[in-house]
Amino acid sequence: MQVEDARYLKRKVKGGSIDVHPTEKALVVHYELEATILAETGDPMLGERKECQKIIRVRSLNSTTDVASLAAEVVERCKLIHPSKLPEVEQLLYYLQNRKETSSSAGVKKGELTGKLKEPPPYEGMELDEVANINDIEEYVELLYEDIPEKVRGTALILQLARNPDNLDELHLNETALGALVRVLREDWKRSVELATNIIYIFFCFSSFSQFHGLVAHFKAGALVMGIVEQELKRHQLWSEELRKKKKTADENPQMKKDYEKSLKKFHSLVKKQEQLLRVSFYLLLNLAEDTKVEVKMRNKNIVPLLMKTLERDHHELLILVVSFLKKLSIFVENKNEMAANQIIEKMTKLVPCDHEDLLNISLRLLLNLSFDADLRSKMIKLGLLPKLVMLLGNENHRLVTLCLLYHISMDDKAKSMFTYTDCIPVVIRLILECPTDKVEIELISLAINLACNKRNAQIICEGNGLRLLMRRALKFCDPLLLKMIRNISQHDGQTKHQFIDYISDIASIIKNSDDEELVVEALGILANLTIPDLDYELILREYNLVPWIKNKLEPGAAEDDLVLEVVMLVGTVAMDDACAAMLANSGIIQSLIELLNAKQEDDEIVCQIVYVFYQMVFHEATREVIIKQTQAPAYLIDLMHDKNAEIRKVCDNTLDIISEFDEEWSVKIKLEKFRWHNSQWLEMVESQQMEDGDGIMYGDESYSPYIQESDILDRPDLFYGYEDGELFDGTMTPDYVDEFGHPLNDGYPARPESAMFRNGAGIEMADGYGMPIDGYHHIPVDEFGNPIGSLEFEDYPYSH
């Protein structure tokens, strides 16, 4: 029998079981659909059987619903349920009525964090009683050429197919269907929100898989969707303005109140549909933005302002999507600046805190990205976000991201003091002390380290038994980061510093016995910070035998730079004590410091601390004599007087001033060096002139010094009084006993020479300073000022070449 002989199609529906939906308030009806093609004789030619299901949502079901009446209504309206199953339906509805909410949204309300973006839920335009079949795709495409209701139905059926990932491979090969969908979207999206949402949802299904992104780009669906989003946001603005006008009219005229209420109800209905469209659209764009090039194109089409406008909505799921998109964009500085220009912090402040856990978490993560900008951190504090963030430390779902955000805020010195007006410090200390592991969370301890840099914060930490408990934990678990926090506390003057006296033995024990270099560095830092006048440093050094240990660590290459720096700082602290300074000087540590200075001359921190040690030691008479008489420390200080680092120059100047007061020889050298520095340009000019005049003199000639710096500037009278024929006048002469030409008075020569030395064009001396011929040169008449008299022609003289 041939297919052409087929005349009849017989459908048979067989009811099946009824279950409750696992997450929603809905019944799931299972049934079997059997389709048979009959010939003219009634014989079956072809048959197919398929398992199907229908979801019946009962959104109105609540604790006060009449379950019996609702069950009867369900059985009456659903032809798939036989009336004999009424008791079963009633029992299932009763179960739904008393079942605890297990949907994802209910979980969020109860404080559960999903951390995932959810797919858009079913909506009015996509719910159909029939089940789509991939074999009927051509029929669904034909519906796209009908009126709007048929187009909505056709797109809903295609959407059913697209929501099943198994169908996407076959659908993406049907270019006719996809082209028709894009055409309908471009032409008719304004006529039906349901139609536009269905089509965008279809392309969203493709965008969920990276291999189909090229397909979406081929049909330019992304650009079309961005245009639709922009127009929808403008439409919402017009709706809001119209509603505002009607509300104002209703307030003035009570008779218009009903009209306003009707408009308000319609407005909410339209907004609900529009938000569904926006949610699908932004989800599609977010998927496409995986490609950075596509993201740049979106930014050029003003995606950031569109997202910022949508932040004003109240729909939680839509806001989660928008904030997630903004978070992704915020990693680029251009997007971050654009967000800042659109008042991002002001809008995000309204979302922190909120009842929706997922929305709150993603909002905090966006703020964390933005907090890398100092100006935005400052704005967060001005808008009152700091107390809100501190409150969230009690919520385990958001504690980690909140700690990171607070850490960024605490990096600013001005912001540190703001923490004293919150409960942050007690909460942080409690979390540290109650930490179940040996090491405190890096985010938590980092925040504590920053907070301890502020004096008032340190005082709050030390209140009660705070310092004792922190020291006990640090010593028990040997936690270097916790000890770093304690070190920051120890740097503040006042009562907090005196509390460390009880722990000196523990700190010294760590220095001598610990193999953990990071722990030793922090312990050295604490001991170096204890600049307490009444503290007996000599006793500490002797009791724990620290001097040989210090000398060993100061040897170049004996330890890492961080450890060496802390050792030098400790030496500077203990050198304030007279007895300690003498002990260090006698042990040869000063020479070790000089050698270290040579080795680490490029490290400004170490150099500055070594110079500070010298500064401390020159205060004491015993060590002052050692530094000045037995070491070359003053010479090194003179070399560092003009270092590029301002702090090094400052400490050097102060140290050299003290040395100048107590040692005459070094005082002269220091003054000479300062003279050379302040007159360096003049000295360079004089030196270059001397080099030009002495071209014929070899450097090996002992009577000539090629560099002026090699001799004492005060012993060079030729620079001040005169220089004649290569002879230097006696340096004891003064200008009062020489004439204006530099010659002694009353020595047999006339006070005013009648002739003077003159150079010809070749630079040859024609006569001496008194007009006497040199080597056969003729006498040249000169006036009283030494200038030649009359016209002088070099060719008149036989030797003027």
**What pLDDT does 733 receive?**
44
Encode pLDDT of 590-636 as tens digits.
888 888 888 888 888 999 999 898 888 888 887 888 888 888 888 88
Identify which has the larger pLDDT, 180 or 627: 180
Phi, psi of 755 (to 5 degrees): -145, 160
The residue with greater pLDDT, 350 or 701, is: 350
The lowest-confidence range among 117-126, 343-352, 525-534, 606-615 is: 117-126
DSSP state of 210: G
Q: Which amino acid does the sequence have at 376? A: L
DSSP 142-185: HHTTS-HHHHHHHHHHHHHHHTSGGGHHHHHH-HHHHHHHHHHH
Average pLDDT of span 260-282: 92
Q: Please say whether the dihedral angle defined by the alpha carbons of residues 733, 736, 737 and 739, taken in this order, is positive or negative.
A: positive
Q: Which long-range contacts (CB under 8 A, 24 or more apart) does 330-335 make?
A: 330/366, 330/369, 330/370, 331/369, 334/299, 335/299, 335/304
Report which listed range, 150-164, 241-255, 692-706, 745-759, is most confident: 150-164
- Which residue has tokens 């279950």? 19
Tokens representing 386 are 């700091």
- Is the pLDDT reported for residue 703 higher than 70? no
Do residues 554 and 589 touch, judged by C-beta distance below 8 A? yes
Q: What's the pLDDT at 23? A: 75
Instruction: Give the span between the Cα atoms of 504 and 471, in whole angstroms.
Output: 11
Distance CA 101, CA 551 (A): 71
Q: What is the pLDDT of residue 558?
A: 82
Q: What's the whole-number mean pLDDT along residues 444-466? A: 94
Of 165-179, 222-236, 330-344, 668-682, the one with minimum mean pLDDT is 668-682
pLDDT higher at 34 or 768: 34
Average confidence (pLDDT) over 638-642: 82
**Average of per-residue pLDDT values in the chain:** 81
3-state secondary structure of 672: helix
The token pair at 391 is 């409150």
Two tokens, residue 270: 């339209």
| Angstrom distances, CA of residue 735 to CA of 465, 738, 740, 770 | 78, 6, 9, 20
How far out from the chain centre does Cα 790 lie?
82
Residue 41: how many other CB atoms lie within 10 Å:
9
In sequence order, the β-bridge partners of residue 765 are: 759
The three-state secondary structure class of 13 is: strand
pLDDT for residue 181: 95
Dihedral angle at the C-alpha atoms of 171, 172, 173, 179, nearest 10 degrees? 90
pLDDT at 692: 63
Phi, psi for 537 (deg, rounded to 5): -70, -35
Does the pLDDT of residue 45 top 80, yes or no? no
Percent of the chain with pLDDT over 90: 44
Reply yes or no on whether the pLDDT at 416 is more than 50.
Answer: yes
Residue with tokens 């080597």: 775
pLDDT score recorded for residue 57: 82
Give phi and psi for 26, each to the nearest 5: -160, 155
pLDDT of residue 298: 95
For residue 329, with 0-12 CB atoms within 10 Å meaning exposed, 13-18 middle and 19 or more buried, which class applies?
A: buried
Which residue has better confidence, 708 or 283? Answer: 283
**Residue 676's pLDDT is what?**
75
Q: What is the DSSP letter of 748?
A: S
Does residue 226 have a pLDDT over 70? yes
DSSP string, 567-626: HHHHHHHHTTSHHHHHHHHHTTHHHHHHHHHHHTTT-HHHHHHHHHHHHHHTTSHHHHHI
Q: Please say if the pLDDT value at position 234 is more than 50.
A: yes
- Among 386-390, 533-537, 724-728, the range with the most confident prediction by mean pLDDT is 386-390
| Gap between the Cα atoms of 263 and 267, Å rounded | 6
- Which contacts qualify for 134-143: CB closer than 8 Å, 24 or more apart? 134/161, 134/167, 134/170, 137/161, 137/171, 137/174, 137/177, 140/177, 141/174, 141/176, 141/177, 141/180
The residue with greater pLDDT, 702 or 693, is 693
* Residue 427 binned pLDDT confidence (cut-offs 50, 70, 90): very high
| Angle at 462 (CA atoms; ends 458, 465), nearest 5 degrees | 165
**Residues 84-114: tens digit of each pLDDT:** 888 888 888 888 888 765 444 444 444 566 6
Looking at mean pLDDT, say which of 31-40, 46-55, 477-486 comes out highest. Answer: 477-486
Residue 201: which pLDDT band, with cuts at 50, 70 and 90? Answer: very high
Q: CB of 324 within 8 A of CB of 367?
A: no
Is the pLDDT at 751 greater than 70? The verdict is: no
pLDDT tens figures, 761-775: 444 344 444 444 444
Residue 127: per-residue pLDDT: 62
